[in-house]
């Protein structure tokens, strides 16, 4: 059997949903579990709803109305006959949320968050399930919360693998066949009290990997609006190319350096059972995408570029400009960890310890205040961190021309440089 995943962009409007239905019609005679995200940017809209409840800002009802209108319009466009019951079903998902309107919220905000944002995935899958049925696909809608079990760490639920695998094998496996397509939600699960949890933003790829792992899938496919995994951001590099094959390790490396393609936590469950993963284009579903697997051969002749803008460069020195030694480093790392600031690149010299981090303004300012209690600290805010896997010297030369190099690091396969603009 196979697991498919469709993200928010692939179901962002009626036309996109029709396209998903077309793709699934191509595969409907194969055992298939399909994991789907919330439509377009609706998770952000649900975050606004959550915010309105917490702050009691009086905007809750209008936010809910906007969410419902967005989905109702998609329903109207998709179906010839009116579907009042489908609209009502979605609107009823807000029953408990609406009861909080105009009241001061006293519960656990993170638990509320998971309840609210799960409505996005529930709504999208209800609509797509209906549309598939109309197109002649025998789809079965499954509530992922009955299968994906987590601890009660709301917003970042950690998977209870044993229980999830047991439930999926016992309850889902018997329904997986050539005769039907299972439609379920990414991103959401539930804890041991059956309270809704989520797996963290952008968690749907991970959900698909969980299904693939527990059901011993032959492979998993993530359907995207790009032809596959590209070697660079096509918005920045007009000559970006598709990588035909990427090994699990290379995918993890790319993700570590900031490529948004695939999260390492998505790869890990697949790697444990050696399940192949495809990244395919939903725009061009017959084209061959990128294969990610254990024995994929990464083409090291194609350099991969990862650009991270808006980096802050922070330079730390001791007050008396004595050497930076282990004791200082340990104080510095403690503060970074306390403020939950992840270091993207670092370097030390005799008297300076220099790092670059991505812009999290308020958190960074608080961190810098704390550092200043002990150290001399300087920072500037507009650097760009560029990582190149499988670099060569001519690429580097071109890259750094006319720019200021703040920091540079090279290993055999990876070149990293932190750049700023030259002042004239």
Q: Phi and psi at residue 49, in whole multiples of 5°?
A: -60, -45
For residue 336, what are the CA distances in angstroms to 126, 355, 406? 43, 11, 21
H or E, element range at 44:
helix 42-55
- Report the residue number, 9 or 400, with the smaller CB distance to ligand ASP: 9
Q: Which listed option, ligand ASP, Mg ion, none, makes contact with residue 248 (CB within 5 to 8 Å by class)?
A: none
Strand, helix or coil for residue 19: helix
Q: Is 4 in the site for ligand ASP (CB under 6 A)?
A: no
Of 205 and 250, nearer to ligand ASP (C-beta) is: 205
Contacts for 404-407: CB closer than 8 Å, 24+ residues apart: 406/313, 406/354, 406/356, 407/313, 407/345, 407/347, 407/354, 407/356
d(CA 257, CA 200): 20
In the complex, what is the shortest distance from the CB of residue 326 to ligand ASP, in angstroms, rounded to a whole number?
Answer: 39
Q: How far is the CB of 360 from ligand ASP (least distance, A)?
A: 18
Contact 11, 40 (CB under 8 A): yes
Site membership for ligand ASP, residue 38 (CB under 6 A): yes
Residue 103 interacts with ligand ASP (CB under 6 A): yes or no: no
Residues 282/23, Cβ–Cβ less than 8 Å:
yes
Q: How far is the CB of 177 from ligand ASP (least distance, A)?
A: 27
- Residues counted in the chain: 424
The distance of closest approach from Cβ of residue 217 to Mg ion in the complex, given in angstroms and rounded to an integer, is: 13
Beta 181-185 vs 139-141: how paired, if at all? Answer: parallel
Stretch that binds ligand ASP, among 24-32, 67-75, 159-167, 200-208 (CB under 6 A): 200-208
Rule CB under 6 A: choose which of 31, 157, 186, 228 binds ligand ASP.
Answer: 186
Least distance from ligand ASP to the Cβ atom of residue 244, Å: 25
| Nearer Cβ to ligand ASP (278/406) | 278
Residue 37 or 247: the one with the smaller Cβ distance to ligand ASP is 37
- Minimum CB–partner distance for residue 130 and Mg ion (Å): 18
Q: Are 49 and 116 spatial neighbours (Cβ–Cβ below 8 Å)?
A: yes
CA angle 115, 208, 112 (to 5 degrees): 10
* Residue 235, phi then psi, degrees to nearest 5: -75, -20
Nearer CB in complex with ligand ASP: 11/306: 11
User: Among the candidate windows 64-72, 166-174, 197-205, 305-313, which touches ligand ASP by CB under 6 A?
Assistant: 197-205
Cβ of 418: how many Cβ atoms within 10 Å?
Answer: 23
Contact call for residue 156 and ligand ASP (CB under 6 A): no
- By CB under 6 A, the residues from 204 to 223 that bind ligand ASP are 204
Cα–Cα distance for residue pair 371/355, rounded to 1 Å: 13
Q: Do β-strands 343-348 and 290-293 pair in parallel, antiparallel, or remain unpaired?
A: unpaired
202 part of the interface to ligand ASP, by CB under 6 A: yes
State in angstroms the smallest separation of the CB of 181 from Mg ion: 5
Stretch that binds ligand ASP, among 164-172, 198-206, 317-325, 371-379 (CB under 6 A): 198-206
Interface residues for ligand ASP in 250-269 (CB under 6 A)?
none
d(CA 122, CA 144): 9
Judged by DSSP in three states, 293 sits in strand
Partner whose footprint covers residue 32, from Mg ion, ligand ASP, none (CB < 5 to 8 Å by kind): Mg ion
Which one of residues 10, 37, 197, 231 is an interface residue with ligand ASP (CB under 6 A)? 37
Binding residues (CB under 5 A) for Mg ion: these are 31-32, 178, 181
Contacts to ligand ASP by CB under 6 A: 7-8, 37-38, 43, 120, 186-187, 201-204
């Amino acid at each position: 059997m196979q697991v498919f995943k469709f993200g928010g962009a692939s179901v962002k409007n009626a036309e996109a949903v029709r396209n998903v239905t077309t793709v699934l019609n191509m595969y409907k005679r194969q055992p298939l579990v399909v994991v789907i995200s919330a439509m377009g940017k609706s998770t952000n809209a649900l975050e606004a709803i959550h915010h309105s409840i917490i702050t009691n800002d009086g905007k809750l009802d209008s936010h809910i109305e906007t969410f419902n209108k967005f989905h109702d319009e998609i329903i109207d466009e998709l179906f010839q006959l009116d579907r009042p019951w489908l609209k009502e079903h979605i609107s009823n998902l807000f029953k408990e949320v609406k009861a909080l309107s105009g009241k001061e919220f006293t519960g656990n905000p993170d638990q509320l968050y998971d309840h609210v944002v799960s409505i996005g995935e529930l709504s999208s899958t209800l609509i797509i399930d209906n549309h598939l049925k109309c197109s002649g696909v025998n789809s079965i809608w499954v509530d992922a919360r009955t299968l994906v079990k987590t601890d009660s760490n709301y917003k970042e639920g950690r998977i209870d693998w044993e229980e999830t695998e047991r439930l999926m094998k016992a309850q889902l496996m018997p329904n997986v066949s050539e005769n039907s397509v299972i439609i379920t939600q990414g991103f959401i699960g539930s804890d041991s009290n059956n309270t809704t949890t989520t797996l963290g933003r952008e968690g749907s790829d991970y959900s698909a990997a969980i299904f693939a792992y527990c059901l011993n899938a032959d492979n998993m496919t993530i359907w995207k609006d790009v032809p596959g995994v590209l070697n660079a951001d096509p918005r920045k590099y007009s000559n970006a190319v598709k990588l035909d094959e990427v090994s699990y390790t290379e995918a993890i490396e790319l993700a570590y350096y900031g490529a948004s393609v695939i999260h390492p936590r998505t790869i890990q469950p697949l790697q444990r059972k050696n399940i192949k993963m495809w990244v395919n284009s939903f725009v061009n579903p017959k084209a061959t995408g990128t294969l990610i697997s254990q024995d994929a051969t990464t083409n090291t002749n194609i350099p991969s570029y990862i650009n991270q803008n808006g980096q802050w460069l922070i330079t730390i020195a001791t007050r008396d400009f004595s050497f930076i030694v282990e004791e200082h480093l340990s104080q510095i790392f403690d503060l970074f960890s306390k403020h939950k600031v992840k270091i993207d690149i670092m370097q030390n010299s005799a008297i300076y310890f220099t790092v670059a981090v991505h812009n999290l303004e308020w958190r960074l300012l608080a961190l810098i205040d704390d550092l200043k209690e002990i150290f001399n600290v300087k920072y500037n805010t507009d650097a760009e961190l560029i990582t190149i896997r499988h670099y060569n010297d001519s690429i580097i030369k071109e890259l750094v021309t006319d720019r200021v190099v703040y920091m540079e690091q090279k290993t055999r396969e990876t070149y990293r440089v932190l750049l700023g603009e030259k002042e004239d």
